Structure 1
Amino acid sequence: MDLISPKERLFRTLDKKETDRKPIICPGGMMNAAVVDVMTKCGHLLPKAHSDDTLMAQLSKDVSDETGFENYGLPFCMTVEAEVLGSEIDFGSLECEPKIKKEVFPHVSEVDYKDINKMLKEGRIETITNAAYKLSKNSDVPVIGSLTGPISTADSIVDPMTFLKELRKDKENANKVTDYVTDFLIEYAKQLIESGADVISIADPTATGEILGPKMFGEYAVKYLNKLIDAIHETGTRVILHICGNMKKVDNYIPLIHMDAISTDAMVNLSLLKEKYPQLTTMGNLSTYLLESGDREHVIKATERLLAKNIDIIAPACGLSTSSPIENLQAFTRRVKEK
C-alpha cells in the first residue's frame, strides 16, 4: 500500500525530498497518453475532446485510471498556442493527433503582435482551463498543464525553416517574436495554475542541440525558457522541462535552465547526465517505440533498468504513439509501483 498520495509523491520528488517510491507520470501535451485503446474502451474520444472541457477532463481521468500513470495531463496536443496565435490547425482524428496545417506568418519581420489578454479568451484556452478546474477537485492526483516551449511556439507561427534561418539572419525580429510568444505562454501558464494545474510541463522539441546548435541553444532556448520558468516559479508552481533529441552538444547548458526536473529522449543516458550534474532531477525515459511495438516482458525489463539507474521520475521518453497497447502501458506503470 502506498504511503503518500501521487500528488505529494511528485511534489516531494521535485523538491528533492524523500519519497516512498518513484512517481510515474505522463504529462500530456507532447507526452500524451490518450491512446486509442483507452479511448475506445471508455468512450471519450478525440478529436471531439480537444474542444469540450467535460470530455477533456473525462479523457484525462480515463488515461490515468486505465494506464496507471499517476497524474492528469492536458491538453492532448501541441497546437493550442499556435491556434490562438493565428496558425491553421488540422485537428486530426481518433488515431492522429492535431498538427499545424499552415503557419500564419512567412517571416519574423511580418508577425502581427496581438493583445495577449484578448488572446487568452480565444481558441481552446478556456476549454483547457475549465478541464483543469474539474480535474483539480481530486486533490490526491496532480494536474499537469502542458505548454509548448518558446522556440517551438515561435516556429509554429512562422514558417519553421525560415524561422530557424532568421534566428541568425534577423536576430532583432527573431528575439522580438520569441519574447512575444514567451509573454503569451507566461499568461497562459498563470491561467492554468489559477484553474488548478499543480505542475507545469514544458516541451520544446525545436529547442535541441541538433536543430539549433550549441550557440543558438544558449542564446535563445536557455534565455526564453528561463524567462518562462522564472515567471511560473513566481506563482509557487513547479516546472518539468522536456528536451528532445541527443543532448551531447548542449548538455553543459542544461544545469543553467531553472526547471525542477529535466525529461529527455530515450537516447540520453540519464544516469550519466545525473552523474555529471548531480543537482538535476531526472525524468524519463522509457522508449516509446518499445511501448508501442515491444512485448510486455521487454517493457518490464526496460522499466527495471530505469529503476536500477535511480532515475527520479519514471516516464515515457517522448510522445507516445496513439497505437501503443494499453497492456504495455499497464505493465510499465505496474512495475514501478511494485518498487
Structure 2
Amino acid sequence: MSLSPKQRLLDTLARKRVDRPPVICTGGMMNAAIVDVMNRTGHTLPEGHFRSDLMAELATDVKHDTGFENFGIPFCMTVEAEVLGSDIDFGTLACEPKIAREPFASNAEVEFRSVTKMLDAGRIRQVAEAGALLSCKNPDVPVIGSITGPVSTAASIVDPMTFLKELHKKREDSHRVLDYVSDFLIAFARLLVDGGATAICIGDPTATGEILGPRLFQDYAVTYLNKVIDGIHAAGVPVLVHICGEMKAVKPSIPKLHCDAISTDALVNLKLLKQEYPQLTTMGNLSTFLLELGEPEKVSRQTASLVRDGIDIISPACGLSTSSSIHNIQAMTQTVKEGGAAW
C-alpha cells in the first residue's frame, strides 16, 4: 500500500485501512514552529503571524525539518480573540502570543458584531491565504487549519474567572455568547476550507473536566463543539478535536462529540480509551515534556508504544515548547515512518 500523506490522513479519519498511522502536528495549540527550525531558516515569529507568505514558508520549514506529515496553521491561539476585541501580546521568536486583556467584564457586556465583517478583520485573511498557498503547491500533503474551541474563545474575550462563574449563574448570557462565538468559528473554519484546508483541528484547552466538571462540560463544551463540528462538516471536511487534561470526569461525554478524531493530553491512556470506546479514532499523545526534555531514544520508545497500542494518529499530546529539540521530534516522526520500530 502506497499512500500520500494527505490520503493516509483522510483514510484514517474515514476509518479505512491504512499502511501505518499518520504522524502530524496540527498548528494552533500544537504549534511546531520551534526555535531550532526558525533559527536555521530565518523565517521567524512573530513576523510569521502577520504575513501569509511567511506563514506558509514557516509551515513548510516545519514540515521539512521535523518530519511531520502535514502543514499546520496558524502558529498561535489568538487569531479569533484578536478579531473579537482582545488585546494581544504577539510574543517573540521563543514565546507564543498571549491574551493581554479581555475586552468584556462579563458575558452580558459582550458586543455582537457581524460575522461577515469580522472575516475581514485581524489576521483571518492572512491565515486563509497561507493555507491556499500551501495547498496549491503541495496537493499531496494535508493542510490542517487550527481554530480555538468555543469555550476557550469565549473565555479569551470575557474575564476568564467571571466567564466561568457565569456558566453556573448566568446561563442565558453564557449560551448567547457561546452561540455567537460558535457562529464566528464556523465562518472562519469555512474560509480556511475554501482556501484548501484538508481538515480542521479544534483545540479547546479551557473545556476540560477539571475546569468545567461533567455537567458544564456536557451543557457547554459538547453542545457548542458539536455546533462548530457540524458547521465544518457541512463544508465537506473532517474535524479533529483536542481536549486537554485528565478525562475521567467527562469521559462518558467524549463519544457524544461529532468529531472524526479525538486528541488527548498525555495524562490519558489512549489504549484504554480506545478499548472502552472502539468507535473513536484516537490521536496523540506523546508527552510534550518528553519532547522538550527527554532523549531521542526514549522518545522513540514511547512513540513505538503508541504505534503498538493501535493509536490511529500519532501526534504530540498538547502544546509543544518552542525550545523542544528538533532531534527529539525527528525521533518521533521517524519511528512512526519506520513502522513503530524503536531505536
TM-score (norm 1): 0.99
Aligned to 1:187: 187
In the TM superposition, what is the alpha-carbon distance from 1:65 to its structure 2 partner? 0.6
Using the TM superposition, give the Cα deviation of residue 308 of structure 1 relative to its aligned residue in structure 2, in angstroms: 1.1
The secondary structure found in structure 2 opposite 1:136 is: helix
Q: State how far apart, in whole Å, the 2-side matches of 1:12 and 1:275 are.
A: 21
Matched, 1:89 2:51: no
Q: Percent identity of the aligned residues?
A: 62
User: Paired residue for 1:286?
Assistant: 286
Deviations 1:251-298 (A, max 9, x none): 000000000000000010001001110000000000000000001111
For residues 238 and 307 of structure 1, the distance between their equivalents in structure 2, rounded to whole angstroms, comes to 22
Residues in 1 aligned to 2:290 and 2:209: alpha-carbon distance in whole angstroms: 24
1:117 pairs with 2:116? yes
Aligned to 1:98: 97
Residue 207 of structure 1, CA deviation = 0.5
Q: Matched residues in 2 for 1:325 and 1:273: separation?
A: 29
Moved >4 Å (runs of 4+)? none
Query: What is the distance in 1 between the residues matched to 2:128 and 2:274?
Result: 34
**Amino acid paired to 1:319:** G
Paired letter, 1:57: A
State the SS of the aligned residue for 1:283: strand
Query: What is the CA–CA distance in structure 2 between the aligned matches of 1:195 and 1:300, rounded to whole Å?
Result: 35
2:72 is aligned to: 73
Q: Helix, strand or coil: the match of 2:263?
A: strand
Aligned-residue offset at 1:42: 1.0
Distance 1:196 1:99 in 2: 27
1:236-315 alignment to 2 at 5 Å?
236-315=236-315
Deviation for aligned residue 1:3: 1.1
1:89 is paired with a residue whose SS is: strand
Helix, strand or coil: the match of 1:241? strand
How far, CA to CA, are the matches of 2:102 and 2:235 in structure 1?
32
2:28 equivalent in structure 1: 29
For 1:322, the equivalent position in structure 2 comes to 322
1:43 Cα deviation (Å)?
1.0
Q: Secondary structure at the match of 1:123?
A: coil
When the two chains are superposed, the root-mean-square deviation of aligned CA atoms in Å is 0.6
1:13 aligns with 2:12: yes
- Taking the aligned partners of 1:255 and 1:110, their CA distance within structure 2 comes to 34
Aligned residue number for residue 152 of structure 1: 152
C-alpha separation in 2, matches of 1:43 and 1:8: 31
Determine if the alignment matches structure 1 residue 214 to structure 2 residue 211.
no
Describe the SS at the equivalent of 1:274: helix
Deviates more, 1:300-309 or 1:65-74: 300-309
What is the CA–CA distance in structure 1 between the aligned matches of 2:28 and 2:116, rounded to whole Å? 23
AA in 2 matched with 1:83: E
Which SS does the other structure have where 2:117 is aligned? helix
Distance 2:200 2:311 in 1: 20
Q: Which residue of 2 aligns with 1:226?
A: 226
Partner of 1:167: 167
Note the C-alpha offset of 1:157: 0.2
Q: What residue ranges of structure 1 are gaps of 5+ in the alignment?
A: none
Shift of 1:304: 1.1
Structure 2's unaligned 5+ residue stretches are none
Inter-partner Cα distance in structure 2 for 1:98 and 1:258 = 30
Which residue of structure 2 lines up, in the alignment, with residue 338 of structure 1? 338
Tell me the CA shift for residue 235 of structure 1: 1.2
Query: How far has the Cα of 1:20 moved from its partner?
Result: 1.1
* Separation in structure 1 between the aligned mates of residue 257 and residue 304 of structure 2, nearest angstrom: 29
SS in 2 for 1:250: helix
Return the letter of the residue paired with 1:310. Answer: G
